[in-house]
Structure 1
Amino acid sequence: MADWRLAVGAVLAVGLAIGGHAAAVHWRPSPATYPLQGIDLGEQPPAVEWGSVRAAGADFAYLVATSGARGRDPGFEANWQALPDAGLRRGAVHLYSLCEDGAAQADAFNAVVPRTADALPATVDIDDRDGCDPPAPGPAATNALRTFVTRVETHTGKPVLLRLSRAVERRYGFSTALVRPLWLQGNFFRPGYAARPWRLWRASDMRRIDGVEGAVNWDVVAP
């Protein structure tokens, strides 16, 4: 009898896990609360069918354009050109290196991303991703990021969004040092780890939709 109960319990646990995963990969915040929703893609994404992304409820898409002072995403230009035809607004992302010169990174981004009237504000994504020894918190780290932001804003004509990881914000406090719109991250639960309210929220990094192979980052704009 005990073995039978254990077997049934195991089956139920597996069923719940499968059901929970299925719910998670299809979940998104309520469009009634957050009318503007979209995706952001990582570096070198797979081929995307943008019409299907639009049909899945996305209003916009953010694409990685550059990383550090030298990295350039090879698929950026083609995807950038395809978004308006699919009825999606478009924005560009720079993956910021805490260990490289801010001015050089801004120049790299500005050389790749055109200034277009329809573009969403550029985004600088700041996280510990380099495998280098990042600078200590203080004026040098903040000034390097401020230089990047200022140069990109001069090029695009719009305020830059700061996409801050929880770890970077805890260490550097960039949301206090630079007063710019914030893009925060937190699966399923609204994030509150920055000094100010967020403008964009990456609500899930596991959603599955037609048109993109694998999981996508699903984002919403604050109402």
Structure 2
Amino acid sequence: MKSFIAFTLLAALATLTGASPLEQRDNKPKGIDVSGFQSNVGWQSVKNSGVSFTYIKATEGTTYKNPSFGQQWSGASSAGLIRGSIHFAHPDSGTGSAQAQFFHSNGGGWSNDGKTLPGSLDIENNPSGNTCYGLHVGSMVKWITSFSNEYHSLTGRYPVIYTNTAWWKACTGNNGGFGNSNPLWIASYGSSPGALPNGWNAATFWQYANSGSIPGDQDYFSGDMNGLVELARG
């Protein structure tokens, strides 16, 4: 929690000093996030390009496991990257607690080794149906709470929440109850993260593009390398 608060204060300080979001990101640790679509990643080349961290999709719903996760995880580790895992939420096909357990059992764990980031809950537009998975805002908030609390009980960490502001407003009613516990990973493509969901004053991670010169989506961490390591250590 101390590191999470520090990230918020750091962003506020940048605002007070007049640095633009684009200027702020120039010296931030760069990352990528990948899934089974990027099955063969040249991790050492990624590292040599200046990337410091990666998030790797592990699971989806209660049945899908990324077939490339094991080799992606070991490859990123061998290259010396700080890494974390992702669960793509399907609130329409299993409870939050059940999906947290599935995630934890299939690559979503956490260890206090200084190089493993807390797992991320990817909750966003339904790729194959109703945008909010057929849940009303109250039910969606309960689902996210269930996942978050179960993951915390299994690992001692609250998951990073990956989302975009438009979806959060539409599907949670812009709920502000997660900002004090869950770091935010905002998806916002452009020169700045833009308006954030209610409850967060700053984003810990910013996905600023869905492609680039290196594989996967493109990300920045809001602090410095020491802060990234602190986040990994909890």
TM-score scaled by length of structure 1: 0.77
* 1:126 and 2:120 are equivalent in the alignment: no
Matched AA of 1:97: H
Q: C-alpha separation between the residues in 1 aligned to 2:188 and 2:58?
A: 23
- Provide closer, same or farther for how the CA distance between residues 55 and 183 of structure 1 changes in structure 2, counting only shifts above 3 A: same
Per the alignment, residue 102 of structure 1 pairs with: 96
3-state SS in 2 of match to 1:105: helix
Question: Contact 2:160–2:185 (CA<8 Å) still a contact in 1?
Answer: yes
For these two proteins, the number of residue pairs brought into alignment is: 190
Q: Superposition pairs for residues 1-223 of structure 1, below 5 Å?
A: 33-100=26-93, 101-113=95-107, 114-118=109-113, 119-133=116-130, 134-171=133-170, 172-173=172-173, 176-179=176-179, 180-191=182-193, 192-195=195-198, 196=200, 197-209=202-214, 212=215, 216-223=216-223
Q: C-alpha separation between the residues in 2 aligned to 1:128 and 1:187?
A: 16
Q: C-alpha separation between the residues in 2 aligned to 1:142 and 1:31?
A: 32
- Over residues 51-100 of structure 1, what are the superposed CA-to-partner deviations in whole Å (9 max), with x where a residue is unaligned? 00001110011000000111111111121122221010110000011212
Per the alignment, residue 15 of structure 1 pairs with: none
Ranges in structure 1 where 5+ consecutive residues have no aligned partner = 1-28
- Provide closer, same or farther for how the CA distance between residues 175 and 205 of structure 1 changes in structure 2, counting only shifts above 3 A: farther
- Provide closer, same or farther for how the CA distance between residues 154 and 185 of structure 1 changes in structure 2, counting only shifts above 3 A: same
3-state SS in 1 of match to 2:209: strand
Let me know the Cα RMSD of the aligned residues. Answer: 2.0
Q: C-alpha separation between the residues in 2 aligned to 1:190 and 1:67?
A: 29
Matched AA of 1:116: S
- Provide closer, same or farther for how the CA distance between residues 40 and 174 of structure 1 changes in structure 2, counting only shifts above 3 A: farther
Question: Contact 2:36–2:69 (CA<8 Å) still a contact in 1?
Answer: no
Question: Contact 2:36–2:67 (CA<8 Å) still a contact in 1?
Answer: no
Question: Contact 1:184–1:202 (CA<8 Å) still a contact in 2?
Answer: yes
User: What displacement does 1:33 show?
Assistant: 4.0
Per the alignment, residue 16 of structure 1 pairs with: none
Question: Contact 1:44–1:74 (CA<8 Å) still a contact in 2?
Answer: no
Q: C-alpha separation between the residues in 2 aligned to 1:68 and 1:47?
A: 24
Matched AA of 2:77: P
- Over residues 141-187 of structure 1, what are the superposed CA-to-partner deviations in whole Å (9 max), with x where a residue is unaligned? 11111111111122222221110123321212465132321111122
Of structures 1 and 2, the larger Rg is shown by 1
3-state SS in 1 of match to 2:210: strand
Q: C-alpha separation between the residues in 1 aligned to 2:112 and 2:174?
A: 28
Q: C-alpha separation between the residues in 2 aligned to 1:221 and 1:115?
A: 19
3-state SS in 1 of match to 2:97: helix
Q: C-alpha separation between the residues in 1 aligned to 2:160 and 2:87?
A: 10
